[in-house]
Amino acid sequence: MADRSNPGSWLPWLGLALAIIIADQFTKVLILGYYQLGDSTYVTSFFNVVRAHNTGAAFSFLAGASGWQRWFFTAIGVAAAVFIIWMLRSHAGQRLFSFALACILGGAIGNVVDRLMHGYVVDFVQLHWRGWYFPAFNVADSAITVGAACLILDELLRVRKTN
């Protein structure tokens, strides 16, 4: 149910999204400034910092396309941002739901900024274990993942409450 008793209550969620965008872009500026494409720094037995460019979506989906995917994924990100802001305004009183949306919003905009500025998304977190490497990702991707997990949790809690 919407919480319209406090019309400004959705603004803190926009603040969280903005903090995610700033953290995401700050870390990417550091990577772009200190690493060349493909450079990697061993940190632990399961974690490297690496500079990678992703012209596709999650797990490099459509990365090999001819370039149209840049604008396609940018448009999806912008459309998602508009929809999420509308949802935040309508459901700001639902804390877990709004937290999830704010995380997804910040991550989506962080990656849209990359696509607009560079034509690709800058990734730099690389997890690995015994020769297996997870695709590199960034702060924006992490925020989207946390947000998606919180959306699932929110729905599970909502369904449980109604039973």
What's 14-69 look like in SS3? HHHHHHHHHHHHHHHHHHHHHCCCCCEEEEECCEEEEEEEECCCHHHCCCCCCCHH
User: What pLDDT, on a 0 to 100 scale, did the predictor assign at position 2?
Assistant: 45
Question: What's the predicted TM-score (pTM) here?
Answer: 0.86
Q: Which residues pair with 125 in a beta bridge?
A: 49, 137
Given a cut of 90, whether residue 140 has pLDDT beyond it is yes
39 is catalytic: no
Question: Which residue in 3, 24, 39, 141 is the catalytic one?
Answer: 141
User: What pLDDT, on a 0 to 100 scale, did the predictor assign at position 83?
Assistant: 95
What residue segments make up the domains of the chain, in order of their start? 11-36+49-162
User: What pLDDT, on a 0 to 100 scale, did the predictor assign at position 65?
Assistant: 53
Average pLDDT, the chain: 88
Q: What secondary structure letter does DSSP report for 138?
A: -
| Tokens 């396309």 -> residue | 65
123 is catalytic: yes
Question: Which residue in 24, 39, 114, 123 is the catalytic one?
Answer: 123
pLDDT tens-digit readout, 3-54: 444 545 888 999 999 999 999 999 999 999 999 999 999 999 999 999 999 8
